[in-house]
Amino acid sequence: MHKLMTLALAGSLAAAFTLSLVAPPAGAQTEEETQRGLERFRQMLREDPWSNPALLDADRGEMLWATPAGPSNATLEDCDLGLGPGVVDGAFAQLPRWFEDAGRVMDVETRILWCMQELQGFDVAEYVKKPHPSGGQPVKDVGAIATWIANRSEGEAFAPALDDEAGRQAVAMGEALFNRRSGPFDFSCATCHAASGQRIRLQELPYLSDPAEAQVVVGEWPAYRVSSTHVMTMQHRMYDCYWQMRMPKLEMGSEASVALISYLVDKAAGGDVAAPGIKR
Ligand code: HEC
């Protein structure tokens, strides 16, 4: 990267992250020590996959799927995730995809929302007002169900069904959004995620438009996020990165959110689904 740009970027990033940083009192852990501690914890969780707390959320998701709920008092068991009503195994590996009944391309969370509305009669507009958990709170229902569905494709190669006209359009829109600079900092996703080995402090920033890196990280979502002690979904990740750009709130299930996820999963095609993963 050009040196001046690096400096400008570093300055803006410092401004962007001051909010979340509190100077440690004397004798407290430095940010670096905390990061190393977190990395050790992540390592331990990886060595014993069954200790991943996200599996509890996956269990909750499975239960929610099969429990009658909503004004229609129905379960989600007839929800079609793309492979036919009720077929869960392997469905996540082929998402996002076009859904004829809904007339649009959907990622897993958008599809769950749609099924909650169509089958259970939920008011989804109400749900998306606050769809993501705060730090320390457990992932909400859609995220728990998404964690379970993703886990049921674990070990399968990502093969999103995005080859049709609508799929290609979603990927193209996602690519445009990924590269479009906007907001008060004039950032694009590419500002932080289009070079190898970039970091903000000690956080590694994956080069998401590079299939080699996308194939490793994208399939780990939804993931247990150690620093906020809950499962974070891909929709939540998109929301948070848009927030870091100080952009207007990214609505869960919106066309923009689905397009960004389509772009990322298209880059990750061929990589393995390894959800739920473990993140910083
Ligand atoms: C200001 C820099 C910045 C911008 C701009 C940004 N991100 Fe991020 N992104 C981050 C950071 C920092 C993390 C890691 C967060 C963490 O570990 O908690 C991250 C993580 C991610 C991840 C998860 C990577 C992994 O390790 O699995 C994805 C996916 C992602 N961002 C996508 C996007 C997209 C899409 C956009 C544009 C809408 C975007 N980001 C814009 C800083 C940025």
The residue among 115, 237, 255 whose CA lies nearest residue 173 is 255
Q: What is the pLDDT of residue 37?
A: 78
Does the Cβ of 267 fall within 6 Å of ligand 1?
no
What are the tokens at 222? 């939804």
- pLDDT tens sequence across 15-38: 444 334 444 455 566 777 777 777
Does the C-beta of 191 come closer than 6 Å to ligand 1? yes
pLDDT given at position 13: 45
Residue 84 has pLDDT above 70, yes or no: yes
Tell me which of 41, 191, 193, 261 to substitute to probe ligand 1's pocket, judged by most ligand atoms within 8 Å of the beta carbon: 193
pLDDT for the residue 200: 67
User: Over 60: is that where the pLDDT of 3 sits?
Assistant: no
| Nearest residue to 241 (alpha-carbon basis) of 257, 255, 253, 226 | 257
Burial of 58 (0-12, 13-18, 19+ CB in 10 A): buried
Identify the residue whose C-alpha is closest to ligand 1 atom 7: 241
Residue with tokens 């990214």: 250
Q: Which amino acid makes up residue 79?
A: C
Task: Name the closest-CA residue to atom 11, ligand 1.
Answer: 205
| Closest residue CA from atom 20 of ligand 1 | 205
How far away, in angstroms, is 160 Cα from ligand 1 center? Answer: 21
Distance 146 CA to ligand 1 centre (A): 20
- The string of pLDDT tens digits covering residues 115-150 is 999 999 999 999 999 999 998 899 999 999 999 999
245 touches ligand 1 (CB under 6 Å): yes
Contact between residue 221 and residue 154 where contact means Cβ atoms under 8 Å apart = no
Structure confidence at residue 206 (pLDDT): 85
Position of tokens 């993703």?
150
CA of 235 to the centre of ligand 1 (A): 12
Tell me if 231 sits within 8 A of 142, measured CB to CB.
Answer: no
Answer yes or no: are the C-beta atoms of 144 and 66 closer than 8 Å.
no
Lowest mean pLDDT among 79-93, 172-186, 190-204: 190-204
Give the residue among 111, 88, 93 at the shortest CA–CA distance from 215. 93
Position 2 pLDDT exceeds 50: no
278 CB near ligand 1 (under 6 Å): no
Cα–Cα distance measured from residue 142 to residue 209, given in angstroms and rounded to the nearest whole number:
27
Residue with tokens 């929302």: 113
